[in-house]
Amino acid sequence: MTLAAQIRMATEDALKHLYPGVEIPVSSINVNQVKPEFTGDYTVVLFPFVKLLRQKPDELGQQLGNYLVEKTGLFSGFEIVSGFLNLTVKDSYWINFLLNQFNNPHYGEKPKHDRRIMVEYSSPNTNKPLHFGHLRNIFLGYGMAEILKANGNQVVKANLINDRGIHICKSMIAWQRYADGDTPERTGVKGDHLVGEYYVKFNNAYKEEVQKLVAEGMDEATAEKEAPIMKEAQEMLRQWEAGDHETRSLWEMMNGWVYKGFDVSYRKLGVDFDKVYHESDTYLLGKTIVEQGLQKGVLYKKEDGSVWVDLTDEGLDHKLLLRGDGTSVYITQDLGTAKLKYNDYKLDQSVYVIGDEQNYHMQVLKLILKKLAEPCADGIYHLSYGMVELPTGRMKSREGTVVDADDMVAEMIGLAQEQTEQAGKTEGCSQEELEKLYETIGLGALKFYLLRVDPKKKMIFDPKESIDLHGFTATFIQYAHARICSILRKENMPLLPPNNKFQTFCCKEAIFPAEKKLVLTLEQYPEVLESAAAEYNPSLLCNYSFLLAQLFNSFYDEHSISKAENEEKKELRLMLIIMTAKTLRHAMHLLGIRLPEKM
C-alpha cells in the first residue's frame, strides 16, 4: 500500500478512536502532498472535520497529529498551518522503502488476476497507408493494453481490419485501369503505399468524370452518382459480395500487399497484436442477434421489412439495424463482432480505441446490446480520443494535408541522428548501436508527443514543435536515464544489483530535500500506474516520468553520487538512482518507449 493510502486509513482510524460515535465520511479525508513552501511531506486537510466534530482546526489537528505520530510510527512530527495538518515522514520509512524495492523489477505492478480484457486498436482500412492520426490510436491502444497488463489483467490486443467495402474496391478499380500490372516488387513501393496511390488515382479520375458530366449539363448530385468509375466500383463491390472469383483474387492480392506494408510499419513502431479480426469475416455477423431481438420484442419491423430499435427512452433516436432487403448496416456487424469477441475470450471487458467522432455510435452500440440483454454489453468501454489536427485545421486526404505515418517516423529518426551527432557523446558506439539509438530517440519522441496529452482532448500537431527534443519530451527522460547508467557504469554496478547489495546500509544522517523529493515521488509510482489503468489514461505516465526525470536532474546537479560526502550517502544515492532508472524504464516501457544506456 502506498504511503498516501496508509495515511488515509490511519486518519480514518484515528478519527474513529478520538471521536467515537461521530460519522465521518471517508471521502472527507483529504491527503495531499505538502506544498514546497511548508515543512512536512503529506498533509491532512482539517476543514472537512471542523463542522462534523465542532472543534477548532488547531485543537483537532493537535489531537489527530499526536494520535498519528504515536500510533502509526510513520511520522517524526507534525505542524498545523491554517487548517492543514502537515506530517513529516520518518527518514527510516524512506530508507526501508528503498531497501525493499530498489531492485524489484516489477515495482508498481499488481499481482496477476483473471480479469480478461481485450483492447482493440489500430483497426485500419486496407485502401491506404497509415497516417499520423492512426499513430495516436496505435500508441494509445498499445500503451493502454500494457498498462492494463501491468495492473494484473489478462489482456488480448486485437486488430479489426476493415478489409472490404467500397473503399478497397476504389483502389482495385483504379489499379485495373491505370497500373499496367504494377506490383510492390516491380515498383519497389511499399505495398500499402502503392495501393494508396491508386486510391488517390481513383478519386482524381472520379473528380474529372464528375466535372465532365456537369459540363455536359448534368447536375452535380446526379453526376456524382452516374460517374462511370464510381459505378464500376459499386459493381465490383457486388461482384465481391457474390464471391466472384476474379474479383476475390484481385482483392486478396492487393490486400496482401497492404498487410505486408502494415506489418513493416507495425514492427517499426514496436507494436503487436494477439488476435486479428477481418471485417470480411465479420461483416455478416449480427443478423442472428437482430432476429433474436425481434422475437424478444425488443426490436420492431416496419412495413418495408426493415428492422429498427427505439432508443427514445434513452434520449436518442430510432436506429436502423437491418435494411428492408435484409442486408445489414455498419452497426449490425458491430453487434455481431462484440459478441464474437466476447465468446472468443470470455471477456470481462472490451476496450475500443476509436476516435471521438464515433462517440454516438459507440453509445448506441452499447445501449442496443444492453437492451438485447447480451452479456458482452456491460464490458464495452470506448477509449475515445480527440482528432489530431494541424495548425491549419483537420487533416484532409482530399487536400493532401495528411501526414504519412512512415514518413513521420523516418523524419523523427533522421532528426534524432542529427541531434545525436551534434551532441557528440557517442564515441565507441558501433554503427549498429547508433542506428538503434537514433530509432530509440526518434520513435520515443514521437510516441511521447502523442501520448503526453489527455486522450480525450483533441491535439494540435505542429510539425515544428513536435520535433523538439527538449523539455517535456521522451528525450528528456531518456537523457536522465542515460546519465544514471553512466554513473552506474563507472561504479561497476549493474542496472539491477543483487538483493544483498546494500545489506550493510545504515542510515545515520538526515535525508536532504533533493533526495527526499525523489524518494517521495518514487513511492507514488504504484498509485500513478493504477490511475492510468482506472482512468484509461496513458498520459499520466508521461507526466509522472517527466516529473521524476526533472527531480533527478535537480538532484544530480546538487549532489554528487560517486563523490558523495561519505559511504552512507553514496549508497543511499545509488539506491535512489537505481530505483529512478528502473521506474522510468518501467513506465516508458509500458508505452513502448525505450531508454538508452548511453546517448
Cα distance between residue 518 and residue 596, in whole Å: 21
CB of 83 to RNA, least distance (A): 6
Beta bridge partner(s), residue 349: 117
**CA-based R_g, the chain, Å:** 29
Helix axes 57-72, 3-18, angle to 10 degrees: 110
Q: How far is the CB of 516 from RNA (least distance, A)?
A: 14
Nearer to RNA, 155 or 474 (CB): 474
N-terminal to C-terminal alpha carbon distance within the chain:
36
Query: What is the closest distance, in whole angstroms, from the C-beta atom of residue 44 to RNA in the complex?
Result: 9
DSSP 349-382: EEEEEEEGGGHHHHHHHHHHHHHTT-TTSTTEEE
Of residues 521, 541, 545, the one with CA closest to residue 532: 541
Count, residues in the chain: 599
Closer to RNA by Cβ: residue 246 or 427: 427
Report, in Å, the least distance between residue 574 CB and RNA.
10
Convert 187-208 to b/e letters by CB count within 10 Å (16 or more is b): eebbbbbbbbbbbbbbeebbee
Q: Which of 452, 443, 380 is nearest to 414 (CA)?
A: 443
- Minimum CB–partner distance for residue 227 and RNA (Å): 16
Minimal distance, residue 198 CB to RNA, in Å: 19
**Residue 91 or residue 515: which is nearer to RNA going by CB?**
515
| Cβ pair 139, 451 in contact under 8 A | yes
Cβ closest to RNA, residue 148 vs residue 576? 576
Q: Closest separation between CB of residue 528 and RNA, Å?
A: 11
Closest contact distance (angstroms) between CB of 45 and RNA is: 4
347's CB contacts (< 8 A; 6+ apart) are 116, 117, 118, 156, 341, 376, 379
Least distance from RNA to the Cβ atom of residue 253, Å: 21
> Strands 75-81 and 84-89: what pairing?
antiparallel
Angle between helices 245-269 and 191-215 (to 10 degrees): 120
Alpha carbon distance 586, 84 (integer Å) = 34
Backbone angles phi, psi at 41, to 5 degrees: -115, -50
Q: Which is nearer to RNA, 216 or 325 (CB)?
A: 325
Indicate the residue among 410 and 423 with the shorter CB distance to RNA.
423
Closest to RNA by CB, 189 or 320: 320
Nearer to RNA by Cβ, of 14 and 179: the residue is 14
Query: Per-residue DSSP letters for 463-531?
Result: HHHHT--SSSSHHHHHHHHHHHHHHHHHTT--SS--TTTTTT----SPPPHHHHHHHHHHHTHHHHHHH
**Shortest spacing between CB 543 and RNA, in angstroms:** 5
Could you give the CA distance from residue 501 to residue 481 in angstroms, rounded to a whole number? 21
In the complex with RNA, the residue whose CB is nearer, 149 or 452, is 452
Nearer to RNA, 17 or 318 (CB): 318
Contact 332, 321 (CB under 8 A): yes
Bridge partners, 381 (sequence order)? 351
CB nearer to RNA: give 184 or 546.
546
Instruction: In angstroms, give the least distance from the CB of 549 to RNA.
Output: 7
